[in-house]
Chain A
Amino acid sequence: MVQVSINGSTLQVTEGITVAAAVLGAGLRHTRTTVSGAKRAPCCMMGVCYECVMVIDGQANRRACVTYVRNGMSIETQNGTGPAIANPIHE
Chain B
Amino acid sequence: MNNHYQLAIVGAGPAGLSAATTAIEYGISVALFDEQPALGGQIYRAIESVPEQRANQLGAEYLRGKKLAEIFRKSKVEYFPNTQIWSINSQREIGLLQNQQAKLITADQVLLATGAMERPVPFPGWTLPGVMQAGAGQILFKSSAIIPADGVVLAGSGPLLLLLAWQYLHAGVDIKALLDVTPLFNPLRAILKLPRALMAHHYLSEGLAYKAELKRAGVKTLHGVSDLQAHGEDQLQSVSFRHLGRNKSLQTDLLLTHFGVIPHIWLTQAAGCAHQWDNGQQCWRPEHDAWGSSSIDGILVAGDGAGINGARCAEHAGRLAALQVLHALGKFDRRQRNRLAEDDRKSLQKERHIRPFLESFFRIPLTLLTTPDDDTVVCRCEEITAGQIRAAVAAGHGDSNQVKFLTRCGMGPCQGRQCANAVTHITAAACNKPVQQIALYRGRPPVTPLTLGQLSSLCVQEAK
Chain A contacts to B: CB under 8 angstroms:
14, 16-18, 21, 24-25, 29-31, 34-36, 38-51, 53, 59, 61, 63, 66, 68, 88-89, 91
Contact = CB atoms under 8 A, between A and B. Distances in A.
Interface in B432-464: 448-449, 451, 453-454, 456-457, 460
A50 B42 CA distance: 17
B132 A43 contact: yes
A43 B139 CA distance: 11
Contact of B381 (A17, A50, A63, A68): A50
Contacts of B118: 44
B417 interface: yes
24 contacts: A14-B144, A21-B143, A25-B146, A30-B234, A30-B235, A31-B129, A38-B127, A38-B383, A40-B129, A41-B235, A43-B132, A43-B133, A44-B132, A45-B132, A45-B133, A46-B135, A46-B139, A47-B35, A50-B412, A50-B413, A51-B127, A51-B380, A89-B451, A89-B457
The 5 closest A-B pairs by CB, nearest first: A89-B453, A41-B129, A45-B136, A50-B414, A21-B144
B437 to A, nearest CB: 26
Given A39-B234, A40-B127, A44-B118, 11 more contacts: A17-B143, A21-B144, A31-B129, A35-B383, A43-B136, A44-B117, A44-B136, A48-B418, A63-B449, A66-B36, A89-B451
Contacts of B412: 50
Interface string B338-350: 0000000000000
Contact of A16 (B49, B131, B383, B414): B49
Contacts of A47: 35, 448
A21 B129 contact: no
Chain B interface size, as a band, is 35 or more
Contacts of B414: 48-50
B42 A46 contact: yes
Contact of B117 (A30, A46, A89): A46
B117 A48 contact: yes
State the majority secondary structure of interface residues on A.
Answer: loop
State the majority secondary structure of interface residues on B.
Answer: loop
Contacts of A16: 49
A15 B418 CA distance: 30
B198 interface: no
A35 B381 CA distance: 9
Given A25-B146, A39-B234, A45 B383 contact: no
B383 A39 contact: no
Nearest to A45: B136
Interface in B270-327: none
Contacts of A91: 460
Contacts of B100: 89
Contacts of B143: 17-18, 21
Interface in B100-136: 100, 117-118, 120, 127-133, 135-136
B146 A29 contact: no
B136 A21 contact: no
B383 A34 contact: yes
A58 B457 CA distance: 20
B117 A68 contact: no
A59 B100 CA distance: 12
B245 interface: no
Contacts of A29: 129-130, 234-235
A46 B234 CA distance: 23
A18 B49 CA distance: 15
Given A38-B127, A68-B37, A61 B413 contact: yes
A58 to B, nearest CB: 13
A29 B42 CA distance: 24
B120 A49 contact: yes
B231 interface: no
A39 B435 CA distance: 32
Nearest to B413: A50
A45 B139 contact: yes
